[in-house]
């Protein structure tokens, strides 16, 4: 029984880390109705940049390296919005989605060109002790990032619910032309969102980079985040965390308890299977906003 809980809890922890990545997706979608395929690549680029500031090209202390990375991601956010999204503002969302495809390739290509393709270790001094809580082993590393994730989610949820900017963003996200014609500074909103998403991507990149090292497969973590978005509902910030926990726990439990019977290796598709089940009952995710067609 204790084993079950241990698998469960470690799954929850991993789930939170997935949520960090999913958060960026959700953010951009909430604010601009764009599904950013490049979010994983952004995390990768952010962690590469961080490594560059920490070890590869400079030897900054962590706080400075982090700030510089945020700066870099801000510039990238501006470039993406200005060069790529602005011209496409009036086009159907499918096109914007495909544009983020292009961004994904670009970021991966540039990132690895500048920083090289070998895996790099990221040491940033997060304590890696193991605590025992109610008979279950939890690492402080996981707890630390759980805390960060909680803070981020809380902050973003507050932003969208309570601040004027946040509410304005929510109001205009699904009709760009209408927003523009009413005079809402849509572009400014997009800059803001993408910069924040860049910061979120940086945090996610740091988290995962420390966990598995900075390497190309980081951008594939995003593929894990996608079922989270489906289960939680792509535009619900609290949904992201809850779904992240579900996916993390489910994936772990599934692999440990069901895996041996079917040959193992089911972590890749199990979250997607869960997502399909959820979609059957809730086509917009557990907490997603249902889109009512106006005929």
Partner 1 sequence: MLSYFNGEDIAMNEKKEPLLRAENITITFGGLKALNNVSLEIYPGEIMAIIGPNGAGKTTMLNVINGFYKPDEGSIFFEGKRRSKDLKPNQIAAQGIARTFQNLALFKGMSTLGNIMVGRTMKMHSNPFSQGLYWGFSQKEEIEHRKKVEEIIDFLQIANIRRTPASMLPYGLQKRVELARALAAEPKLLLLDEPMAGMNLEEKEDIARFVLDANEELGYTIALIEHDMGVVMDICDRIVVLDFGNKIAEGTPEEVKATPEVIKAYLGTAE
Partner 2 sequence: MAIFPIPLDRWGFIFMLFLAFIVVPLFASEYLVTNIIIPFYCFALSAFGLNVLAGYAGQVSLGHAAFMAVGSYASFILYGRYGIPLIPSILGAGVIAAIVGTFFGLPSLRIKGFYLAISTLASQFLIEWIIVHWQWVSGGVFGTIEAPDMFIFGGAIDTYIKKYYLVLCMVILLMTFGKNLVRGQLGRNWMAIRDVDYAAEIIGVNLYRDKLIAFSVSTFYAGVAGSLITLCYVGVANIEEFNVMVSFALVGMIIIGGLGTILGSFLGAGFFVMLPIAINQGLGTFMEVVKPDILSNIEAIIFGGLIVFFLIVEPYGMARLWHTIKEKMRLWPFPY
Residues that bind partner 1 (CB under 8 A): 292, 294-295
From the CB of 234, what's the least distance to partner 2, in Å?
7
223 binds, among partner 2, partner 1, none (CB under 5 to 8 A by kind): partner 2
From the CB of 295, what's the least distance to partner 1, in Å?
5
180 binds, among partner 2, partner 1, none (CB under 5 to 8 A by kind): none
Is residue 218 within 8 A of residue 44, CB to CB? The reply is yes
From the CB of 82, what's the least distance to partner 2, in Å?
12
> Interface with partner 2 by CB under 8 A: which residues?
29, 35, 83-84, 87-88, 91, 93-95, 97-99, 101-110, 112-113, 117, 223, 226-227, 229-230, 234, 262-266, 268-269, 272-273, 275-276, 279-280, 283-285, 293, 295
Task: For residue 237, give the nearest of 8, 3, 28, 5 by alpha carbon.
Answer: 28
By beta-carbon proximity to partner 2, the closer residue of 68 and 106 is 106
By beta-carbon proximity to partner 1, the closer residue of 132 and 293 is 293
276 binds, among partner 2, partner 1, none (CB under 5 to 8 A by kind): partner 2
- Beta-carbon contacts of 125 under 8 Å, excluding residues fewer than 6 positions away, are 62
Task: For residue 51, give the nearest of 7, 101, 114, 96 by alpha carbon.
Answer: 114
Exposure of 60 by Cβ count < 10 A (0-12 exposed, 13-18 middle, 19+ buried)? Answer: middle
From the CB of 155, what's the least distance to partner 2, in Å?
25
User: What's the rounded Cα separation, in Å, for the pair 76 and 145?
Assistant: 25
- Beta-carbon contacts of 83 under 8 Å, excluding residues fewer than 6 positions away, are none
From the CB of 37, what's the least distance to partner 1, in Å?
23
By beta-carbon proximity to partner 2, the closer residue of 108 and 142 is 108
From the CB of 107, what's the least distance to partner 2, in Å?
8
Exposure of 251 by Cβ count < 10 A (0-12 exposed, 13-18 middle, 19+ buried)? Answer: buried
188 binds, among partner 2, partner 1, none (CB under 5 to 8 A by kind): none
From the CB of 173, what's the least distance to partner 1, in Å?
19
Helix (H) or strand (E) holding 222: helix 217-232
Q: For 80-185, where are the alpha helices, taking DSSP H only?
A: 93-115, 140-162, 164-172, 176-182
User: What's the rounded Cα separation, in Å, for the pair 267 and 89?
Assistant: 37
By beta-carbon proximity to partner 1, the closer residue of 134 and 292 is 292
By beta-carbon proximity to partner 1, the closer residue of 134 and 295 is 295
235 binds, among partner 1, partner 2, none (CB under 5 to 8 A by kind): none
User: What's the rounded Cα separation, in Å, for the pair 76 and 107?
Assistant: 9
113 binds, among partner 1, partner 2, none (CB under 5 to 8 A by kind): partner 2
By beta-carbon proximity to partner 2, the closer residue of 106 and 212 is 106
| 3-state SS class at 120 | strand
Residue 126 tokens, joined = 């997060």
By beta-carbon proximity to partner 2, the closer residue of 60 and 272 is 272
Label the pairing between strands 130-133 and 136-139: antiparallel
By beta-carbon proximity to partner 2, the closer residue of 146 and 230 is 230
């Amino acid at each position: 029984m204790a084993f079950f809980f241990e698998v469960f809890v470690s799954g929850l922890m991993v789930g939170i880390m997935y949520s960090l990545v999913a958060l960026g997706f959700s953010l951009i979608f909430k604010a601009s109705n764009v599904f950013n395929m490049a979010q994983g690549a952004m995390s990768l680029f952010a962690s590469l940049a961080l490594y560059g500031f920490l070890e590869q090209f400079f030897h900054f202390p962590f706080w400075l390296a982090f700030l510089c990375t945020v700066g870099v991601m801000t510039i990238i956010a501006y470039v993406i919005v200005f060069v790529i999204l602005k011209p496409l503002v009036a086009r159907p969302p499918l096109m914007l989605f495909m544009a983020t495809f292009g961004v994904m390739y670009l970021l991966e290509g540039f990132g690895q060109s500048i920083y090289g393709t070998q895996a790099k270790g990221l040491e940033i001094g997060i304590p890696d002790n193991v605590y025992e809580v109610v008979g279950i082993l939890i690492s402080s590393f996981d707890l630390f990032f759980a805390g960060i994730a909680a803070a981020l989610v809380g902050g973003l949820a507050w932003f969208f619910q309570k601040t004027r900017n946040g509410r304005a963003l929510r109001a205009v996200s699904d009709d760009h032309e209408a927003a523009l014609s009413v005079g809402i500074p849509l572009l400014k909103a997009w800059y803001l969102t993408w910069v924040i998403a860049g910061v979120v991507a940086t945090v996610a990149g740091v988290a995962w980079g420390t966990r598995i090292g900075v390497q190309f497969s980081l951008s594939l973590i995003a593929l894990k985040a996608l079922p989270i978005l489906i289960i939680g509902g792509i535009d619900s910030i609290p949904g992201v965390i809850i779904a992240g926990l579900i996916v993390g726990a489910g994936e772990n439990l599934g692999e440990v308890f069901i895996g041996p019977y079917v040959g193992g290796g089911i972590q890749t598709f199990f979250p997607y299977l869960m997502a399909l089940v959820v979609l059957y009952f809730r086509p917009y995710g557990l907490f997603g906003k249902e889109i009512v067609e106006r005929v």
